[in-house]
């Protein structure tokens, strides 16, 4: 069996935090995690363990571990975060410690900004937009164009300028323990860069003020929004660990309906697209969200890339895409899925394998409420594969692919073209995951 991760195993070693040193030195000081095997580990300089998923491949993932004092920052406002991130093309290693909650919808002075502020001066108004593109008069065969669509795009661009945070290569972005650290209303964009770590942060209320109506999306059209809480586009060697993703406090059940479709202001929680590669997603909590994790932006995304490991995460109150996988080699293990409806989020499926994706799903645990069916835990287009083993449904070993295929006209394939080897921390049984992951995942656990 592979050796356990050096980061932490709540079952196999005691983790102690030297909080006195932090209190004496102040909030920006290092937080040291002690364990019986490895001595002191500085949270802010911590790197991904060897063989811990795809992000450990090759050069591994070290983030900003080599940052000097001049490139080590503690930030608590949007303006400070933007300054600390600097240019997305600057590859100098940096560590950015987020102290408390940063509201992305604020100006440089810290003043709260609203959707009306972004719309101001663009000519956009929702009432005018709805009138201009009502399917009864505009039709359903083409995307909106003209004055109001131009105004909507301009207003959206104003919001994007404020809420999109572009992360450069060789960066560690980490929440200061004990401060409820996180970003609300923002999108962390990791695009065409290598070697990034994102840890111990709560990402909440990532909302698009200006969704676009697309009458050609599906049979009845859809409202599409623009921001993921964290988005990887052409990124490599990324480790997302111990974060919490949620729509709170505004749940989808509160969204209005226009043109007979939900006015959706949320997009993805953590999307991995545009040829991103070598990613490890571990010990996170995904909750109260619809389209949660997209791997591969289309059926023609990059072949030979999109290699992602997803382990020891909690998925609760998730409608779909946990994940939706295309093309790549995806290892999904030791995750806990609670598919009980939560705050109006009624699950459709957990894992979708399509566009020839090669998914290995092992030793995961699903909690199904009364009346729910194991046949609906998976999904696919008939070209994707899921090789499953050791997966439990309400404590019973279940062949999820067989259950799905028995009820579907588009069978999932059961063989894959690769064998996972980067499996540090892999547990051979899923039976204890509902208990152990309840207290060991998400933001605020690392101290």
Note whether 282 and 445 are within 8 A (CB): no
Structure tokens at 168: 């450069």
Neighbours of 110 (CB within 10 A): 12
Q: How far is residue 158's CA from residue 154's CA, in Å, rounded to a whole number?
A: 6
Q: How far is residue 156's CA from residue 160's CA, in Å, rounded to a whole number?
A: 6
Contacts of 103 (CB under 8 A, 6+ apart): 78, 112, 184, 185
Neighbours of 165 (CB within 10 A): 22
Q: What is the largest CA-CA distance in the chain?
A: 70
Neighbours of 86 (CB within 10 A): 16
Contacts of 148 (CB under 8 A, 6+ apart): 123, 124, 128, 129, 132, 133
Determine the Cα angle at 237 with ends 231 and 243, to 5°.
50
β-pairing, 194-199 vs 171-175, is parallel
Catalytic member of 152, 307, 321, 354: 321
Note whether 62 and 52 are within 8 A (CB): no
According to DSSP, residue 440 is labeled: H
Note whether 98 and 72 are within 8 A (CB): no
* Cβ contacts of 205-208, under 8 Å, gap ≥ 24: 205/247, 205/248, 205/249, 205/250, 206/163, 206/247, 206/266, 206/267, 207/250, 207/265, 207/266, 208/156, 208/159, 208/265, 208/266, 208/267
Would you call 94 a catalytic residue per the annotation? Answer: no
Structure tokens at 90: 């600057």
Residues designated catalytic = 321
């Amino acid at each position: 069996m592979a050796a356990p991760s050096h980061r932490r195993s709540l079952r196999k070693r005691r983790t102690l935090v030297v909080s006195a040193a932090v209190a004496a030195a102040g909030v920006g000081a290092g937080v040291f995690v002690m364990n019986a095997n490895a001595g002191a580990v500085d949270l802010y300089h911590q790197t991904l363990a060897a063989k811990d998923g795809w992000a450990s491949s090759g050069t591994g993932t070290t983030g900003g571990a080599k940052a000097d004092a001049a490139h080590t920052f503690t930030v608590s406002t949007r303006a400070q975060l933007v300054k600390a991130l600097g240019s997305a093309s600057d590859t100098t290693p940096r560590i950015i410690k987020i102290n408390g909650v940063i509201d992305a919808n604020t100006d440089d002075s810290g003043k709260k900004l609203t959707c009306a502020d972004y719309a101001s001066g663009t000519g956009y108004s929702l009432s005018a937009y709805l009138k201009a593109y009502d399917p009864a008069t505009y039709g359903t065969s083409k995307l909106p164009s003209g004055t109001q669509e131009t105004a909507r795009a301009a207003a959206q661009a104003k919001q994007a300028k404020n809420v999109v945070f572009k992360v450069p290569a060789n960066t560690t972005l980490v929440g200061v323990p004990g401060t409820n650290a996180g970003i609300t209303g923002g999108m962390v964009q990791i695009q065409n860069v290598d070697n990034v770590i994102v840890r111990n942060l709560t990402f909440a209320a990532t909302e698009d003020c200006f969704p676009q109506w697309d009458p050609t999306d599906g049979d009845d059209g859809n409202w599409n929004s623009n921001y993921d809480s964290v988005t990887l586009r052409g990124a490599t060697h990324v480790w997302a660990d111990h974060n919490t993703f949620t729509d709170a406090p505004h749940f989808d059940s509160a969204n209005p309906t226009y043109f007979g479709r939900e006015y959706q202001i949320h997009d993805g929680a953590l999307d991995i697209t545009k040829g991103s590669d070598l990613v490890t997603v571990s010990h996170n909590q995904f909750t109260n969200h619809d389209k949660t994790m997209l791997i591969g932006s289309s059926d023609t995304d990059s072949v030979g890339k999109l290699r992602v490991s997803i382990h020891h995460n909690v998925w609760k109150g998730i409608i779909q895409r946990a994940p939706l996988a295309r093309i790549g080699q995806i290892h999904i293990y030791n995750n806990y899925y609670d598919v009980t409806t939560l705050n109006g989020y009624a699950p459709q499926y957990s894992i979708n394998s399509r566009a020839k994706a090669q998914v290995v799903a092992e030793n995961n645990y699903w909690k199904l409420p009364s009346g729910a069916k194991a046949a609906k835990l998976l999904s696919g287009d008939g070209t994707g594969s899921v090789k499953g083993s050791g997966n439990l449904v309400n404590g019973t070993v279940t062949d999820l692919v067989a259950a799905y295929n028995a009820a579907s006209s588009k069978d999932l394939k059961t063989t894959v073209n690769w064998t996972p080897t980067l499996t540090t921390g892999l547990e051979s049984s899923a039976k204890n995951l509902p208990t152990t992951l309840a207290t060991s995942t998400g933001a605020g656990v690392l101290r």
